[in-house]
Amino acid sequence: MNTLNLSMLRKGVLGVAGVAFAAGVVAGPVAAATVESPAQAATPVAVAVQGDKPDTGRLMPHGVRGEQSRIPLDAEQTGNVKAIIAATKKAGMDERAAVVAIATSLQESKLENLGHLGDRNDHDSQGLFQQRPSSGWGTVEQITDPEYSTTAFLKGLKQVDGWQDMPLTKAAQTVQVSAYPDHYAQWETQAADLVAEHWTS
C-alpha cells in the first residue's frame, strides 16, 4: 500500500471514530436523562400509589393475637374513626399508629366519645380513650375532644420506646395502664380494616 492510500485510510478511520465518539457524547447524557429524569421517574410511581389503601402488612406487622371481636359502627362512631385518623396524620404518625389508637378506643369506649357515666363511670374516665383528668390527661373539655384526646394518646405512644415493634396490646397497655392489659388485642383486625377504609378518604 502506498503512502497516499495509507494516509487516506488513516483519515477515514479517524473520521469514523470521531463521528462515533461525538455520537456517544451526544447519546450518553440524553439516554441518561431519559432514564433518570425525576419528572419521568416519579410520575408513574406517584400515579401507581395515589389513593391506594394501606398495605395489610403495615397495618398488622405482627399479625393478630387471640380471638377477634367486631362491632357495627354508626355515623358518630365512624366520624370518631375519621377524627382519630386525621389527628394521627396531623401528629406526623403512620397508619400503624392509627390502628393502635383505634383499637384502644374500641376497647375503652367502643369509639364513643363518652361523658361522665355516673355510677357506671370508671373513676373520672371520659372520652374516646377513657382518659382521666385526675391523672393529668387534661380537662374534661379537652379529653372529650376527639382531636385532643387522640393527640394526647399518640404523645404517650411516641414515648414508648420501640412501640412499632411491639404487639398492639402491649403498646396500648403501656400508654393506658389498664386493669385489663390483654383486651386491646381483640380489636386489631377491625381497627386495621377501618384504617384501610378511611386512611385515604
Domain ranges for the chain: 56-199
Single-letter residue type at 95: E
What are residue 131's phi and psi, to 5 degrees? -85, 150
Mean pLDDT of 3-28: 42
For residue 53, name the pLDDT band (cuts at 50, 70, 90): confident
Query: Which residues lie below 8 Å from residue 74, measured CB to CB, with a gap of 6+?
Result: none
What pLDDT, on the 0 to 100 scale, is given for residue 90?
Answer: 97
Q: How far apart are CA 127 and CA 168, in angstroms?
A: 21
More reliable by pLDDT, 1 or 126? 126
The candidate with the shortest Cα–Cα distance to 85, out of 132, 146, 155, 157, is 146
Whether residue 13 is predicted with pLDDT greater than 70 in this model: the reply is no
Whether residue 58 is predicted with pLDDT greater than 60 in this model: the reply is yes
Grid-cell match 391523672, residue found: 135
For residue 74, name the pLDDT band (cuts at 50, 70, 90): very high
For residue 120, name the pLDDT band (cuts at 50, 70, 90): low
For the segment 147-184, what is each residue's pLDDT rounded down to a tens digit?
999 999 999 999 999 999 999 999 999 999 988 889 99
User: Does the domain at residues 56-199 carry the CATH identifier 1.10.530?
Assistant: yes
Q: How far apart are CA 81 and CA 85, in angstroms?
A: 6
Q: How far apart are CA 182 and CA 163, in angstroms?
A: 16
Where do runs of H (alpha helix) occur along the chain? 3-36, 38-49, 56-59, 75-90, 95-109, 140-143, 146-158, 168-176, 188-198
For residue 1, name the pLDDT band (cuts at 50, 70, 90): low
Q: How far apart are CA 74 and CA 43, in angstroms?
A: 39
How many CB atoms are closer than 10 A to CB 10? 10
The CA-CA-CA angle for residues 98, 86, 117, to 5°, reads: 75
**Dihedral sign for Cα atoms in the order 140, 85, 151, 122:** positive
